């Protein structure tokens, strides 16, 4: 970490090391969301947040940002799914400087997720391991929250993607209808839909990445998005989110299927089940933590490889959102240069703090 970076992050770095790092990661997550919610509810606070982070005014005329998936993004960096699972604070995260926010993962039925503890920090690697298991209040509850947000002028302009997954109690053979149900409820409020078949924390979910099992799911969600588009008179793009652990041939096969079925594109990548040798954390500690998806800087190389594979296979028309191991503005530039239309981050936000998306956006504008 450079001195300049430390200086910019100073107060948050102290807060993280002396307070948040001593709390259970999930408890720290909930406290952070609560604090942001309270701060954002204060009259005039959204404007102050945007001023502090250098975020452009969302009410400015169009034509000032990057246009992707039918919407304008003030920054190419967005917030990946997982941080705001139930869509409680998408507008607040946008006011911190993200160009878009992907809420979820949400499932058709509310579910508690896996037993705690289920979230772990590898501080020396600036990484996380989680096995949350799609804990969320369900698609119906999310639809109500997003409907309320969309009724405001600010919410109508907001770029909010919705990430949907399979309910744990739903059998794999019934997965397509489970995804269809969520898509039908949420498409009217989504800037785009993201189909999550790549989390390692729902038993059997990654099996759905095989072309034979994936096809009916993609077709079901695309069918619902098209029905919504006819009612809304606007497109509801659909993307699929894939794992970094897929072999190159499987990445290519999924890309071809996505194009054949009519998806708008692919999000790459989710967390990894691997534990790279480059991890500095003690191996005994990693063993103690056990199963879960690893996120953080060590995903960068594979995520970039998959981005290049996808761009070569899909051509220039399809959208590719690159996610995994993004920390700096240079990381974002590298992904854009390699063919990404948009970039997403999550883990860096935990370690860098709430000023992170605004710093990235300003650096990219410069």
Of the candidates 177, 158, 209, the one whose C-alpha atom is nearest the C-alpha of residue 46 is 158
Is 275 known to sit in a ligand binding site?
no
To the question of whether residue 132 is assigned a binding role by annotation, the answer is yes
Instruction: Tell whether residue 31 is among the known ligand binding residues.
Output: no
Tell whether the torsion through CA atoms of 132, 133, 134 and 137 is positive or negative. Answer: negative
Coil/strand/helix, residue 359 = helix
Residues in a beta bridge with 293: 130
- Dihedral sign for Cα 346, 351, 354, 358, please: negative
From the list 344, 320, 350, the residue with the least C-alpha distance to 332 is: 344
Assess whether 199 carries a catalytic annotation.
Answer: yes
The response to whether 83 counts as a known ligand-binding position is: yes
DSSP 8-state symbol, 271: -
* CA angle centred on 334, ends 328 and 337, rounded to 5°: 145
Q: How far does Cα 49 stand from its chain's mean position?
A: 21
Q: Find out whether 196 is annotated in a ligand binding site.
A: yes
Is residue 134 annotated as involved in ligand binding?
Answer: yes
131 is in an annotated binding site: yes
- Work out whether strand 119-122 and strand 127-130 pair parallel, antiparallel, or are unpaired: antiparallel
- Token output for 118: 């289920």
| Cα torsion through 123, 127, 132, 134, rounded to 10 | 150
81 is in an annotated binding site: yes
Is 213 labelled as part of a ligand binding site?
A: no
Residue-by-residue DSSP string for 221-286: HHHHHHHHHHHHTS---EEEEE-TTS-HHHHHHHHHHHHHHT--EEEE---BS---TT--S-HHHH
Closest CA to 177 of 219, 144, 232: 219
Contact between 271 and 298 (Cβ < 8 Å): no
Q: Which two tokens stand for residue 172?
A: 């794999």
Q: Which is nearest to 271 in space by CA: 168, 193, 344, 356?
A: 344
Q: Is residue 36 annotated as involved in ligand binding?
A: no
* Choice among 127, 182, 198, 199 that is catalytic: 199
Tokens representing residue 117 in the block: 């503890």
**Is 135 known to sit in a ligand binding site?**
no
Residue 79 CB partners (closer than 8 Å, separation 6+): 93, 98, 100, 101, 102, 344, 345, 346, 349, 357
Tell me whether residue 136 is annotated as binding: no
Q: Is 64 annotated as a binding residue?
A: no
Element holding 79 (H helix, E strand): strand 77-79
Do the annotations mark residue 347 as ligand-binding?
A: yes
- Residues annotated within the binding site for substrate are 85, 130-134, 196, 201, 270-271
Residues classed as catalytic: 199
Numbered residues of the known binding site: 81-85, 105, 130-134, 163, 196, 201, 241, 269-271, 296, 325, 346-347
Residues in binding site for FMN: 81-85, 105, 163, 196, 241, 269, 296, 325, 346-347
């Amino acid at each position: 970490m450079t001195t300049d970076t430390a200086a910019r992050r100073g107060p948050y770095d102290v807060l993280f090391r002396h307070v948040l790092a001593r709390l259970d990661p999930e408890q720290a997550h909930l406290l952070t969301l609560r604090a942001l919610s309270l701060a954002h509810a204060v009259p005039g606070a959204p404007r102050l947040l945007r001023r502090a982070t250098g975020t452009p005014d969302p009410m400015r005329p169009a034509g000032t940002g990057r246009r992707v998936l039918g919407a304008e993004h003030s920054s190419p960096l967005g917030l990946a799914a997982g941080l705001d699972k139930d869509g409680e604070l998408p507008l607040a995260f946008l006011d911190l400087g993200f160009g878009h926010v992907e809420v979820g993962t949400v499932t058709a039925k509310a579910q508690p997720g896996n037993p705690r503890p289920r979230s772990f920090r590898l501080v020396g690697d600036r990484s996380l391991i989680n096995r949350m298991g799609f804990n969320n209040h369900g698609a119906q509850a999310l639809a109500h929250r997003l409907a309320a947000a969309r009724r405001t002028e600010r919410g109508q302009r907001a770029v909010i993607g919705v990430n949907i997954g399979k309910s744990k109690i739903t059998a794999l053979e019934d997965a397509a209808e489970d995804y269809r149900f969520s898509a039908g409820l949420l498409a009217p409020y989504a800037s785009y839909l993201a189909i999550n078949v790549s989390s390692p924390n729902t038993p059997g979910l990654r099996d759905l990445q095989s072309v034979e099992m994936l096809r009916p799911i993609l077709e079901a969600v695309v069918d619902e998005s098209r029905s919504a588009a006819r009612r809304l008179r606007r497109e509801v793009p659909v993307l699929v989110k894939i794992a970094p652990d897929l072999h190159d041939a499987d990445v290519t096969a999924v890309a071809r299927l996505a194009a054949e079925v009519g998806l708008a594109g692919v999000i790459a990548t989710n967390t990894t089940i691997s534990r790279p040798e480059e991890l500095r954390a003690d191996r005994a500690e990693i063993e103690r933590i056990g199963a879960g998806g690893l996120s953080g800087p060590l995903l960068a190389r594979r995520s970039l490889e998959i981005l290049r594979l996808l761009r070569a296979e899909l051509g220039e028309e399809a959208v590719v959102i690159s996610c995994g191991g993004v920390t700096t503005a240079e990381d974002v530039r590298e992904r854009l240069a390699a063919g990404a239309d948009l970039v997403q981050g999550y883990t860096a936000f935990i370690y860098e703090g709430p000023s992170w998306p605004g710093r990235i956006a300003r650096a990219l504008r410069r």
